[in-house]
Amino acid sequence: MASETTAARNPADRAWPLWLAGEPAPAASGRTFAVHNPATGQPLAQVAEADAADVDAAAQRARDALDSGTWAKLSARDRGRLLRRLAELIERHADELAELETRNNGKPIFESRQIDLPMTAAVFDYYAGWADKIEGAVLPVSGPFHAYTQREPVGVVAAITPWNFPLLLASWKLAPALACGCVVLHKPAEQTPLTALRLGELAAEAGFPPGVWSVLPGYGPTAGAALATHPLVDKIAFTGSTAVGHEVMRLAASSNKRVSLELGGKSPNIVFPDADLDAAARGAYNAIFYGKGEVCAAGSRLLVDRRIHDVFLAKLLDRARRLAPGDPMHPKTKLGPLVSQEQLDRVLGYIATGRREGAQLAIGGERASVPGHERGYFLSPTIFDQAQPDMAIVREEIFGPVLATMDFSDFDDAIARANATSYGLAAGVWTRDLALAHRAARALKAGTVWINTYNQYDPAAPFGGFRQSGFGRELGRPALDLYTETKTVWVNLEN
């Protein structure tokens, strides 16, 4: 325990090899790469760098485990037991994992410890329960036949995940895949591979057999592309940007892999004039500033009824004024640094564009200085008012704590503006009118609609996008469809 805690405090004190088929291994090339602490800008650890050769080795071992080895022979109930044991290990190591997540990603320790870690454990626990409940059906076909379906694992699953929720978004893919009897190759984002590597180690401790679980940190165009094209990989489960999602789908098409994509968003948060305005202001604030706004479902477009605009914005600004970026390891910090210099530059670029295009900067907009962390990638919480539909800050995903506010005149105008986007991940609606709330939920083109709340997630609640936000639903029962094939069996009863 003591040494693990030390490793979380100073990850440079240990080696970070690949996790290859259930064991530590150096990269075949011998190469490593540095990962950074965004709160200090300093290197945090050296990590083995997987490329095509390592992907090939892991894929061969995965295939063997699936086709002949111990995994295939394990009962569904025993698979569930392994997942539950892993959930328990995650809970037991939650302090260490939360600290590692915060040091690598920059998200406040409060979020890592209170949200990411409990939910990661809950996702493994939830799918542990599904493992022995994945059933086929007897089909009412015509003729002298007995016909039935059975659900079989789709096979070798490659999970490619982003840096914003390194552990949690991995669990959304790995837990249902394993519950369905698949084997997994996980490529975490190159910025944030540390907790994924620890998760692989904990999976071995839980008893997952060799071959079933590999973690292959590395870069997208090398390790990621090798996964997307490898002939032994059956399915790609991807979360990341829309542009890379397109590329992954294109790469996977040549071998007809199954693909599910959870991509970007530009989610609208609509405040009707009869809403509880204090609750809505708190909701709008959390919708954009939770997770530093590096959240695919962030409520990054705020739509406010013209009649309440001034009073509502005053409430929101009052909250934003009290949100100071700070050391993410401090338990009271609510806004940490952005993940990297590159991301900070990108977000600052959008802020400059917003100003140039004529949006009114109501608060923030600058790099923030945090005493003792002068080289960290901090940004002050930023709110634009008077944004217009054709501005880049309204149309494009910024992926940072930057809110674009627009007015609307009535219900139809609100819905038209909300749906005027190529994305469709999530939406929020604030009103006390029950019928209006459900009318809005029906009209909004989004995979999730939150009414009088925002950013709610649960392992039982499916999540995914319409349109450019991707396809396939993670979490809940629908995720089982992503990791199984349905086989139909016909039996002639007259033979």
Q: Would you give the binding string for ligand ADP spanning residues 343-362, x where CB under 6 A is met?
A: --------------------
Question: Residues 6 or more apart from 325 whose CB is under 8 A from it?
Answer: 333, 335, 336, 337, 368, 370, 378, 379, 380, 381
How near is the Cβ of 262 to ligand ADP at its closest, in Å?
Answer: 10
Nearer to ligand ADP, 191 or 431 (CB): 191
Alpha helices in 225-295 (DSSP H): 225-229, 242-253, 277-289
Token readout for 429 is 């609606």
- Contact mark string toward ligand ADP, 145..174, x via CB under 6 A: ---------------xxxx-----------
Question: 100 vs 233, which CB is nearer to ligand ADP?
Answer: 233
Does 248 engage in binding with ligand ADP (CB under 6 A)?
A: yes
Q: Select from 247, 262, 385, 407 the one that contacts ligand ADP (CB under 6 A).
A: 247
Q: How far is the CB of 387 from ligand ADP (least distance, A)?
A: 22
Of the candidates 55, 66, 115, 244, which one interacts with ligand ADP according to CB under 6 A? 244
Beta-strand ranges (E) seen in 272-324 are: 301-305
| CB count in 10 Å sphere of residue 356 | 10
Residue 273 DSSP class: T
Helix (H) or strand (E) holding 3: helix 2-9
- Which of 183, 189, 287, 446 is close enough to bind ligand ADP by CB under 6 A? 189
What is the Cα–Cα distance from 130 to 108, expressed in whole angstroms? 32
Among 38, 240, 265, 381, binds ligand ADP (CB under 6 A): 240
CA distance 99 to 184: 25
Residue type, 245: G
The contacts of residue 80 (CB under 8 Å, 6+ apart) are 128, 129, 130, 131, 132, 179
Residue with the shortest CB distance to ligand ADP:
220
Whole-number minimum distance, CB 412 to ligand ADP, in Å? Answer: 34
Question: Which residue number, 182 or 228, has a Cβ lying nearer to ligand ADP?
Answer: 228
Check if the beta carbon of residue 54 is closer than 8 Å to that of residue 62.
no
Q: Catalytic residue numbers?
A: 262, 296
Least Cβ distance, residue 214 to ligand ADP (angstroms): 15
Q: How far apart are CA 215 and CA 158, in angstroms?
A: 10
Q: From the CB of 233, what's the least distance to ligand ADP, in Å?
A: 11
Nearest Cα residue to 461 out of 434, 479, 484, 443:
479
Residues with Cβ < 8 Å from 175, sequence gap 6 or more?
83, 123, 124, 126, 127, 128
User: 201 to 230, contacts with ligand ADP by CB under 6 A?
Assistant: 219-221, 224-225, 228
Instruction: Give 153 or 162: the residue with its C-beta nearer to ligand ADP.
Output: 162
Given the complex with ligand ADP, which of 69 and 240 has the nearer CB atom?
A: 240
Q: Taking each helix axis from N to C terminus, what angle separates 76-92 and 117-130, rounded to the nearest 10 degrees? A: 170
The one among 241, 341, 380, 452 contacting ligand ADP by CB under 6 A:
241
In the complex, least distance from residue 225 CB atom to ligand ADP, rounded to whole angstroms:
4
* Size of the chain, expressed as the number of residues it contains: 495
Figure out which of the listed residues 111, 190, 407, 474 binds ligand ADP, where binding follows CB under 6 A.
190
**Closest separation in Å from C-beta 165 to ligand ADP:** 10
At closest approach, how far in Å is the CB of 238 from ligand ADP? 7
- The whole-angstrom separation of Cα 396 and Cα 34 is 30
Q: Give the number of residues in contact with ligand ADP, rule: CB under 6 A.
A: 18
C-beta of 336: minimal distance to ligand ADP in Å? 16
* Shorter beta-carbon distance to ligand ADP: residue 122 or 344: 344
Nearer to ligand ADP, 49 or 99 (CB): 49
Per-residue CA distances from 380 to 334, 344, 367 (Å): 12, 11, 6
H or E element at residue 35: strand 32-37
The amino acid sitting at 348 is L
CB closer to ligand ADP, 80 vs 217: 217
Phi, psi of 97 (to 5 degrees): -65, -40
Provide the b/e sequence for 426-457 (b: ≥16 CB within 10 Å).
bbbbbbeeeeebeebeebbbbbbbbbeebbeb
Q: Within 356-415, which residues bind ligand ADP (CB under 6 A)?
A: none
* 85 vs 198, beta carbon nearer ligand ADP: 198
Cα gap 13→412, rounded to integer Å: 58
Q: Sketch the per residue contact string, 13 through 32, with ligand ADP: x for CB under 6 A, - otherwise.
A: --------------------
Among 61, 85, 103, 187, binds ligand ADP (CB under 6 A): 187
Residues that bind ligand ADP (CB under 6 A): 160-163, 187, 189-190, 219-221, 224-225, 228, 240-241, 244, 247-248
